[in-house]
Amino acid sequence: MNHKGTILIETDGLILRKFKQNDVNDMFKNWGSDDKVTEFLSWPTHKNIKDSEDIIKQWISEYEDNSVYN
């Protein structure tokens, strides 16, 4: 298998891209702090903005490893 890491995927109706540090507020507000949304994710519901900041910081650092997909 030839790993390519997290790459941009774009269609007419959807764009999937790497997380950016300025996504923190949107992540926390729109889904990271919602128990129903995070119920089946591998990480717990975010209780504060720092939780979202920490996970995005971790994911961004993992982009250097082409076998990691976030």
CA gap 63, 49 in Å, rounded: 22
CB 55 within 8 Å of CB 44: no
Q: Report DSSP letters for the chain, one per residue.
A: -----S--EE-SS-EE----GGGHHHHIIIIIT-HHHHTTSSSPPPSSHHHHHHHHHHHHHHTTSTT---
Share of residues in the chain with pLDDT > 70 (%)? 100
Tell me the pLDDT tens digit for each residue of 58-67.
999 999 888 8
pLDDT at residue 24 tops 80? yes
